[in-house]
Amino acid sequence: MNDNRPPVVLGTMDFGTRVAPERAFAILDAFVAGGGVWLDTANCYAFWNDPDGVGGASERVIGSWLAARPGARDRVRIATKVRQNPLVPHVWPESAEGLSARAVHAGVEGSLRRMGVDHVDLLWAHAEDRGTPLEETVGAFGELVAKGAVLRIGAANHAAWRVERARSLAREQGVEPWSALQLRHSLVQPRPLTPVAEGGHRMLTAEDLDLARSEDLAVWAYSALLWGSYVRADKPFPRTYDHPGTTRVLAVLEDVAREVSATRNQVVLAWLLHQGIGPIVGVSRVEQIEEALAARRVRLADEHLTRFAEAR
């Protein structure tokens, strides 16, 4: 992996929609105070919850927070995404932006404007766009790095073979290659070969990890805590997680949490961090991000990891 220690990433998807700006400010302040660095957003967040029917609310909140906190930009790194923002309000996926050169450049220009920054530290291709030649997308991302608008680039929700193909094309074009992957991953797993209900989500696979470790790519995992299902009775796991492996893993999780004096959420995050995977944690309260950051101090032994692996 690119960093010796993967980050706990603050997911800001709901900022400005389900999470009011003043509460988002408090969460951001607590995140930085606790030593957090990486913020993850997207230009499409969160169009499905926004009365306007388009994205941008999350980035605007981040921009307002940066403007209200002199020096904060030097303390955080910002990751955002292009692809998926509706070009026509309330019309998705039919009007979702793609990954053409024009769309990529326009998307980043909008993100920079909303956040009031001159660059982002990491730009993700949010999802595949099979309607645009991969060569074009690779070239557009490379141009953004070359002009300093983006420092690093990665692929979210892409098949491993597409990532490797894009990296090969980048080498041929002499531009910056994708060096990070973002996929869905958590301790419990859905039934094999069963699609998840959330459209566009792609699960992290052994092939993705093999590619990342072979090519020294960073890996971030979203939906790491499965929307509170590990700790909240009113947030049951989705039906695709209803299988004997889940029951066994949760029993081990309860035991390990007690043994290491941590919450179940913290053990899940520590499990990911131990593997070199940076979990993205979406929160709505300050105490939730404080709990997540404390997971960095949880130390799991090899014996704990073995028990989890055998339970699956």
| Residue 243 in domain | yes
| Residue 2 in domain | no
Segments forming the whole domain that contains residue 155: 9-311
| Residue 58 in domain | yes
Question: Could you tell me the CATH number of the domain that includes residue 233?
Answer: 3.20.20.100
State residue 218's pLDDT score.
98
Q: Which residues contact 302 (CB under 8 A, 6 or more apart)?
A: none
State residue 192's pLDDT score.
87
| Residue 140 in domain | yes
How many domains, the chain? 1
| Residue 3 in domain | no
Residue ranges, the chain, pLDDT below 70: 1-4
| Residue 1 in domain | no
Average pLDDT over all residues of the chain: 96
| Residue 113 in domain | yes
| Residue 218 in domain | yes
If phi > 0 it is left, if psi is from -120 to 50 it is alpha, else beta; for residue 84 that is left
CB atoms within 10 A of CB 299: 10
State residue 4's pLDDT score.
62
pTM equals 0.96
205 touches 184 (CB < 8 A): no
Q: Cα angle at 173 between 210 and 155, to 5 degrees? A: 40
